[in-house]
Structure 1
């Protein structure tokens, strides 16, 4: 479907065409018409699906076509869980408002509070913000939300997971009037807290589910490699960097200390890199993100602080040096590549300490994941076996008693169940490391 078929204002269509977008994505095809009716919306769509424009375009349509409820209050408020995502949204918003008489502001934690209060005093029509800092300004009376026409929550599940429920309730209370429209976007609609919170904020919402959070991105090639230990992981990483033709690459680690260590290591191998973690102040994080976005480094090494909200077209590869503890975070990590129709590659190194997280991921995605190996760097580790449960004594009539059953089984081999199938995958035959022990004879 072309954007011209969505009944958008000609100025918005001109902007979309200038940005190089012709065909609307699936979430845009469904969310834009639904939001333009004025009804509340509860929608889910995977990362990289174009949901930012799915709510910015109907928001701008409302401003262009409807009279403002207030001369001073913001008309549209977009809330995002992280500074990085808020900055990404604001970047797209500035492009969308370019050919309109409206202006916008970005309000983030960790930045100059007084400068933000001055910006809010200029009565921006649209505000993009993180919840905590926005509530600080509300409490100081720097602006009001009595005339707010549209409240948009991007990645509502993430905001609730990060503990912003109190702030979101305060914002809802400050803008609680019958003419407010609320759009709530979440990675999944199967999030109990999202549904409970949505019941408070939304009035008879239209529900849109594009695809499940657990669905693997079709434009990304997912590959898993076994690793024996830390040194083996580093050897695998070096081999991947040498063998893969990548434009830019994001390397995810489990700990903050590993970001600096691995950044120094890949620099020794001859690659330019940057390290990003939550320990840095906001100014430092901004500088690193801007430098990587500008192509000043080949590799960004980060914790999950960059798993959402980072949209860089040149990222062709993602490597999980450590698997995330929460399976859904894997989807957001690998979603940093394969964006806007481009192809991407995601590699995950699975060692003994990653095995529990791997099994969670396998169950979350509800499919068998294939393992590969790099010739000369094959791992001995092939996963851990699951202990078999002993059969329960039969209780039904006609079946042998437990004692007789044990006697009948003497001398017979008992099959053990393992956590994966014995199949040949790529260069790595998935064989069992330890042979199962036979049942002891009685």
Structure 2
């Protein structure tokens, strides 16, 4: 496909030898320097759809100025977790080329990031607020950026980052550059942004207009669970024989911290990722989840687009999300990269109206999920719960990344 041999070899060394649809469609266009909009569902390979051509062009494109320590590539993402994930993926692909990738995000030491930029970087991956702050302080140079990527643009819109994004785009307007915008959905504000700051972009959609919003490789199980019975239900689900890496999603930070602590008290090896934790604690929990030492991650939606682990077998919605797209992004953490997964949603009796709105928008056909308890035969049979499953599985543990309020275990 015209990608530099060094990049292909680096990916092959990690077992990455075939393209996904979004990658196969975008690579030839992106490598030519054309502006493009890439649209595909979460988990379908968007990162390397823009990451491979970005690295290839920074490394060897004739129209990209020679590397001199100021950024030639800039990737803007909505969350800290996604910034870390994207930077790690780019570093893997850049392992055999002299292209330095740096991560710039909030929650980390400001002076260390300034020192990193002064030492010289070729590609920067970052969140809008910290990028703009460093630019305005003249620590981040944007005057020679040749390739700009806006990843998960719809999420940046939802999180209120559009004013910062527009300021960053305005800072790049004096230097000719390629712009790639990747998004799962295309709200009107994103379309307007593309029309303003892109030059005749090619819009590539890897799914048909009629494609279902969720992966066919993901088995969805939805049932009503009483609030007081949700923890026993969750404990038993976590004991199914074929369970691998599992993400438990909550709607609030407090519930994430509390649920992680309760699972740890029951003997499960669990990590937590939510907004009340320091960035270092969040990264520690995520790293443990990625390397398999922490098989269960309890997280708020801050992590729904920042965890790119291919072999997540189960996603459990401990609380119903606020909207349909959040549901799609949550369960998109499983059934990825050709694997099969299971997404389980526990609908509290007081959450039924919220679930029915999601069910209607996504046409899932389950407006009245069955009512199951942790002892219900239907629940046990449907999810293959072991006959000897109990609430606790061992002695209490500590939560990886910190428990309630980020301060570790607390009684």
TM-score by length of 2: 0.85
Which of 347, 350, 355 is 1:350 aligned to?
A: 347
Equivalence for 1:226: 224
Instruction: Provide closer, same or farther for how the CA distance between residues 314 and 36 of structure 1 changes in structure 2, counting only shifts above 3 A.
Output: closer
**Paired residues for 1:11-410 under 5 Å:** 11-63=6-58, 64-69=60-65, 71-177=68-174, 179-189=176-186, 191-211=187-207, 215-227=213-225, 229-369=226-366, 371=369, 373=372, 376-377=375-376
Task: Tell me, in whole angstroms, the C-alpha distance in 2 between the residues paired with 1:162 and 1:366.
Answer: 26
Q: Which moved more, 1:367-376 or 1:75-84?
A: 367-376
Deviation, 1:113, is: 1.1
**1:9 corresponds to 2:4:** yes
Instruction: Indicate the SS of the match to 1:243.
Output: coil
Deviation, 1:214, is: 5.7
Instruction: Indicate the SS of the match to 1:195.
Output: helix
Larger radius of gyration between Structure 1 and Structure 2: 1
Deviation, 1:292, is: 2.3
Where do 5+ consecutive residues of structure 1 fail to align?
Answer: 1-5, 380-425, 428-442
Q: Could you list the per-position Cα deviations for residues 202-245 of structure 1 after superposition, in whole angstroms to 9, with x for gaps in the alignment?
A: 11110011236961112111111122x21232332233223353
Task: Tell me, in whole angstroms, the C-alpha distance in 2 between the residues paired with 1:11 and 1:359.
Answer: 50
Task: Tell me, in whole angstroms, the C-alpha distance in 1 between the residues paired with 2:89 and 2:69.
Answer: 24
Task: Tell me, in whole angstroms, the C-alpha distance in 2 between the residues paired with 1:66 and 1:126.
Answer: 17
**Contact 2:153/2:181 (CA < 8 Å) preserved in 1?**
yes
Task: Tell me, in whole angstroms, the C-alpha distance in 1 between the residues paired with 2:12 and 2:364.
Answer: 39
Task: Tell me, in whole angstroms, the C-alpha distance in 1 between the residues paired with 2:238 and 2:253.
Answer: 21
Deviation, 1:163, is: 1.3
Equivalence for 2:399: none
Task: Tell me, in whole angstroms, the C-alpha distance in 2 between the residues paired with 1:163 and 1:375.
Answer: 40
Task: Tell me, in whole angstroms, the C-alpha distance in 2 between the residues paired with 1:209 and 1:369.
Answer: 28
Task: Tell me, in whole angstroms, the C-alpha distance in 2 between the residues paired with 1:72 and 1:256.
Answer: 39
Task: Tell me, in whole angstroms, the C-alpha distance in 2 between the residues paired with 1:337 and 1:85.
Answer: 16
Task: Tell me, in whole angstroms, the C-alpha distance in 2 between the residues paired with 1:126 and 1:275.
Answer: 30
Instruction: Indicate the SS of the match to 2:213.
Output: coil
Task: Tell me, in whole angstroms, the C-alpha distance in 2 between the residues paired with 1:44 and 1:214.
Answer: 14
Task: Tell me, in whole angstroms, the C-alpha distance in 2 between the residues paired with 1:271 and 1:73.
Answer: 46
Instruction: Indicate the SS of the match to 1:246.
Output: coil
Instruction: Provide closer, same or farther for how the CA distance between residues 100 and 364 of structure 1 changes in structure 2, counting only shifts above 3 A.
Output: same
Instruction: Indicate the SS of the match to 2:337.
Output: coil
**Contact 1:214/1:364 (CA < 8 Å) preserved in 2?**
no
TM-score by length of 1: 0.80
Superposition RMSD in Å: 2.3
Deviation, 1:178, is: 5.9
Pairs aligned (count):
375
Task: Tell me, in whole angstroms, the C-alpha distance in 2 between the residues paired with 1:80 and 1:125.
Answer: 17
Q: Could you list the per-position Cα deviations for residues 267-324 of structure 1 after superposition, in whole angstroms to 9, with x for gaps in the alignment?
A: 3433221222111121221122122223222321121121111122342111111110
Deviation, 1:67, is: 4.9
Task: Tell me, in whole angstroms, the C-alpha distance in 2 between the residues paired with 1:293 and 1:85.
Answer: 13
Task: Tell me, in whole angstroms, the C-alpha distance in 1 between the residues paired with 2:26 and 2:133.
Answer: 31
